């Protein structure tokens, strides 16, 4: 059972695949179809005056063909041509869909074939127009016009051949058997339609393949365009990368140059600091640099060394002043000591000579006043010397304290120099390690 169902589905699939090759005209672009349809309708309408003139002619035409045409009632002639014009005009209405307009136009052309056969009295040559009409209807690339043509041939030949066979056939066999010969004519038209269908199917398949290839070509063109755009983007990115690389190389060169400059400056600063640490306060560094930090260090170093040098000079100058004052104080002290020793000796001599001079009291009574004045002057001098000595001692003490403060400041400056030297050495060590 399952096998039968599978076979049936395969057969149905095969039928659908074959039916897909039957042309239906949908692959024709609208603008192409409109152009073809317009000329088809004009062709149908162009038959009307020709058929009217041919239908009005009666008798034998002896000049060219020798054909004998029957008498056609004017009403019937106008009716048939009116039907043809009505189909053609209806097919020209743009509001109708393409398939319906195709059917109307092809039916109008089929009526022209039937009318031609009618007005000629059934000449077999007039039947050729059916084949021409089928060939012209092939421009729609649709199987439906072929079906209409085949049906029209069979039905009109059978029905009108039965009503008035002399208007459809011009030989006795067909007049006696109108449906048989209608089927024969329909069969030939069907074979022509089949041949055209195969041909149109091939054209439609080619068009589909061409459309598919066109779509693929468009996709490839789009891909190529995208690739070209991407290539252009890549080229731009490449140029940007090259620019960034060049900029990076330039920055790297600048960094290396700056590093070399910093190393040179650091070595110069270190050497200068070592000289300052050794006691040479006349050393100065070149503070000009591409690095603001190095400029600041150089200027600070020069200012610091200048301040230290000025401070040391002031200390030396003040020390000289203190030394001079100290020497002067020592001289005054020695003079005061000498004066004190002289007074002491005089007192001792006076004490020793008291007994001897007791007798001379009366003689020196007048001189005691002078001696008292002298003693008072000596005492005043000793007091003045003592005061000067105290002031000198105070000045010396203050000078010593100031000297101690200056020495402490100098030690702090020395410590600052050593700290700066260590900082520069540490920066140089870090820079050397980063270079590695």
Q: What is the DSSP letter of 95?
A: T
Structure confidence at residue 264 (pLDDT): 78
Helix (H, G, I), strand (E, B) or coil at 103: helix
Catalogue the E-assigned strands of 11-114.
59-60, 68-69
How many angstroms from the chain centroid is the CA of residue 145? 58
What are the pLDDT tens digits along the chain (436 aa)?
555 555 555 555 555 555 556 777 788 889 999 999 999 999 999 999 999 999 998 888 778 888 888 888 999 999 999 999 999 999 999 999 999 999 999 999 999 999 999 999 888 889 999 999 998 998 888 888 888 989 999 998 899 889 988 888 888 898 899 999 999 998 998 898 888 888 777 777 777 777 778 888 888 888 888 888 887 888 888 888 888 888 888 888 877 776 777 677 777 767 777 777 777 767 777 767 766 776 777 778 677 767 777 777 776 676 576 567 656 655 654 664 454 455 445 445 544 544 554 565 455 445 445 544 544 554 454 455 446 446 655 655 665 676 677 667 667 766 776 776 677 677 667 766 766 6
Residue whose entry in the numeric block shows the structure tokens 């399952």: 2
The Cα–Cα gap between 305 and 307 comes to 5
Write the DSSP string, 199-227: HHHHHHHHHHHHHHHHHHHHHHHHHHHHH
Residue whose entry in the numeric block shows the structure tokens 């002619």: 57
The number of C-alpha atoms within 13 Å of 235 and in the hemisphere containing its C-beta is 6
Helix (H, G, I), strand (E, B) or coil at 342: helix
Structure confidence at residue 311 (pLDDT): 73
Whole-model pTM: value is: 0.48
For residue 11, the tally of other CB atoms under 10 A from its CB is: 10
The tokens for 105 are 């136009």
Nearest-5° Cα angle at 237, 235 to 238: 60
Structure confidence at residue 350 (pLDDT): 47
Structure confidence at residue 94 (pLDDT): 92
Residue pair 318/403 in contact (Cβ under 8 Å)? The answer is yes
Report how far apart, in Å, the C-alpha atoms of 369 and of each of 140, 357, 365, 373 are. Answer: 172, 16, 8, 6
The tokens for 197 are 């269908």
Helix (H, G, I), strand (E, B) or coil at 46: helix
The Cα–Cα gap between 433 and 426 comes to 10
Q: Are strands 59-60 and 68-69 parallel, antiparallel or unpaired?
A: antiparallel
Decide: residue 324, CB within 10 A, 0-12 exposed, 13-18 middle, 19+ buried. Answer: exposed
The tokens for 293 are 């930090």
Report how far apart, in Å, the C-alpha atoms of 85 and of each of 33, 47, 114, 135, 155 are. Answer: 21, 9, 14, 21, 21
The residues that bridge with 59 in the sheet, in sequence order, are 69
């Amino acid at each position: 059972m399952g096998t039968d169902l599978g076979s049936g589905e395969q057969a149905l699939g095969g039928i659908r695949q074959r039916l897909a090759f039957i042309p239906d005209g949908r692959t024709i672009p609208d603008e192409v179809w409109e152009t073809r349809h317009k000329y088809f309708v004009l062709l149908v309408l162009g038959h009307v005056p020709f058929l009217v003139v041919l239908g009005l002619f009666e008798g034998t035409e002896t000049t060219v063909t020798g054909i004998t045409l029957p008498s056609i009632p004017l009403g019937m002639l106008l009716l048939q041509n009116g039907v043809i014009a009505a189909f053609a005009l209806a097919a020209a209405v743009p509001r109708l869909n393409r398939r319906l307009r195709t059917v109307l136009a092809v039916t109008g052309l089929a009526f022209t074939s039937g009318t031609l056969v009618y007005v000629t009295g059934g000449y077999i040559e007039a039947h050729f127009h059916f084949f021409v009409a089928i060939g012209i209807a092939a421009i729609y690339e649709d199987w439906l016009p072929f079906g209409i043509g085949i049906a029209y041939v069979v039905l009109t030949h059978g029905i009108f051949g039965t009503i008035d066979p002399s208007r459809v056939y011009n030989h006795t066999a067909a007049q006696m058997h109108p449906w048989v010969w209608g089927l024969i004519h329909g069969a030939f038209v069907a074979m022509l339609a089949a041949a055209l269908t195969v041909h149109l199917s091939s054209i439609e398949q080619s068009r589909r393949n061409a459309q598919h290839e066109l779509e693929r070509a468009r996709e490839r063109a789009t891909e190529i365009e995208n690739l070209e755009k991407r290539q252009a983007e890549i080229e731009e990115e490449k140029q940007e990368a090259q620019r960034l690389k060049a900029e990076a190389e330039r920055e790297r060169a600048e960094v290396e140059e700056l590093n070399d400059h910093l190393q040179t400056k650091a070595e110069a600063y270190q050497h200068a600091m070592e000289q300052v640490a050794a006691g040479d306060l006349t050393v100065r560094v070149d503070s000009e640099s591409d690095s603001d930090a190095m400029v600041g260090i150089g200027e600070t170093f020069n200012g610091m060394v200048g301040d230290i040098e000025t401070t040391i000079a002031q200390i030396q100058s003040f020390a000289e002043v203190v030394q001079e004052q100290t020497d002067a104080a020592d001289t005054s002290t020695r003079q005061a000591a000498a004066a004190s020793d002289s007074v002491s000796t005089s007192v001792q001599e006076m004490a020793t000579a008291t007994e001897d001079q007791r007798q001379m009291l009366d003689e020196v009574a007048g001189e005691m006043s002078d001696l008292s004045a002298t003693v008072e002057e000596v005492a005043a001098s000793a007091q003045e010397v003592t005061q000067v000595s105290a002031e000198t001692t105070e000045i010396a003490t203050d000078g010593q304290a100031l000297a101690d403060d200056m020495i402490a400041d100098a030690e702090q400056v020395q410590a600052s120099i050593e700290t700066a030297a260590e900082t520069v050495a540490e920066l140089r060590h870090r820079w050397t390690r980063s270079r590695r």
